[in-house]
């Protein structure tokens, strides 16, 4: 999941200042972790300790109340209820990468992706977004080709990839729905030649840059066999002790060096 965190950090300074190109410095003083990272680590913590997803999501919200959450999640996290609020947003997809790493068969990955989403994002589109990303990560880390990953997601989730980044780059705008951002994030991975190129692709289309790059980075890490050292060093240097500890524990648990 370090790839997802890297995407979040690299995309953070572009979320409200989109850049429609690939020629940018990966990190700057403004690069930071946001709610994407916080909730990704929260779900990793849930898996590591066999604690319900909702509990850890609220716990991490309280620890990082100013990380940049959406309004619906903010209200849910402050409430005394654990009932979902019907979201179809891409928050379910941005935080799901640990699920794609933690389990050893695809059907369990799909089931747990549904569970991880449904505590808040119980709309069918919210669930589909999480399942698409988790499945892509599982398939990538188990050696499947980009073609096989694309075909599975088209068949199982129903997303269409009948566009190129070049085609959508001039017209793509901010869209927080799963159906309006997850296919685009996955296409950024499909068109990439390596991990860094995948993140440059993700940023270059604009939109919800930190979340799109977070999704792309999670899949790219699994497919390309890790996060380049030059990127990982920047990421570790921007995480606080809690997020660092849980991320390292999770990587050890799933066998990532």
Give percent helix, percent strand, percent coil of the chain, each to the nearest 5.
60, 0, 35
pLDDT mean over 80-103: 96
Pairwise CA distance, residues 217 & 202, whole Å: 9
Which CATH number fits the domain that encloses residue 63?
1.10.4080.10
13 CB burial (10 A radius; 0-12, 13-18, 19+): buried
Return the pLDDT at 238: 98
3-class DSSP state for residue 64?
Answer: coil
Pairwise CA distance, residues 189 & 146, whole Å: 9
Task: Give the pLDDT confidence of 187-216 residue by residue, as tens digits.
Answer: 999 999 999 999 999 999 999 999 999 999
pLDDT mean over 173-200: 97
Return the pLDDT at 159: 98
Report pTM.
Answer: 0.97
Task: Give the pLDDT confidence of 77-90 residue by residue, as tens digits.
Answer: 999 998 999 999 99
228 CB burial (10 A radius; 0-12, 13-18, 19+): middle
Domain containing 176 equals 2-23+31-253
Return the pLDDT at 135: 98
pLDDT mean over 100-113: 98
Return the pLDDT at 250: 98
3-class DSSP state for residue 177?
Answer: strand
Task: Give the pLDDT confidence of 17-46 residue by residue, as tens digits.
Answer: 999 999 999 999 999 999 999 999 999 999
CA separation (Å) from 124 to 14, 89, 128, 147, 163? 29, 10, 6, 25, 23
| Domain count for the chain | 1
pLDDT of 169 higher than 90 = yes
pLDDT mean over 127-136: 98
Token couple for 112: 């747990």
Place of tokens 């892509």: 136
């Amino acid at each position: 999941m370090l790839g997802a965190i890297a995407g979040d950090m690299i995309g953070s300074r572009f979320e409200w200042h989109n850049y429609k190109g690939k020629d940018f410095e990966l990190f700057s003083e403004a690069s930071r972790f946001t709610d994407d990272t916080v909730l990704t680590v929260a779900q990793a913590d849930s898996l590591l300790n066999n604690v319900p997803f909702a509990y850890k999501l609220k716990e991490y919200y309280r620890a990082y109340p100013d990380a940049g959450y959406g309004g619906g999640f903010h209200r849910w996290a402050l409430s005394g209820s654990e009932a979902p609020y019907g979201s179809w947003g891409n928050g379910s997809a941005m935080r799901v990468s640990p699920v794609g790493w933690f389990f050893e068969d695809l059907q369990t990955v799909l089931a747990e992706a549904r569970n991880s989403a449904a505590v808040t994002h119980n709309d069918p589109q919210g669930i589909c977004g999480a399942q698409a990303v988790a499945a892509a990560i599982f398939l990538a880390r188990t050696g499947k080709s980009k073609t096989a990953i694309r075909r599975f997601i088209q068949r199982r989730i129903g997303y269409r990839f009948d566009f190129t980044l070049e085609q959508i780059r001039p017209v793509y705008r901010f869209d927080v729905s799963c159906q309006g951002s997850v296919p685009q994030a996955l296409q950024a991975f499909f068109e990439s030649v390596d991990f860094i190129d995948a993140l440059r692709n993700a940023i270059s289309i604009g939109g919800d840059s930190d979340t799109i790059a977070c999704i792309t980075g999670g899949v790219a890490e699994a497919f390309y066999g890790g996060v380049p050292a030059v990127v990982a060093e920047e990421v570790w240097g921007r995480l606080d002790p809690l997020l660092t500890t849980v991320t390292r524990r999770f990587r050890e648990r799933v066998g990532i060096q």
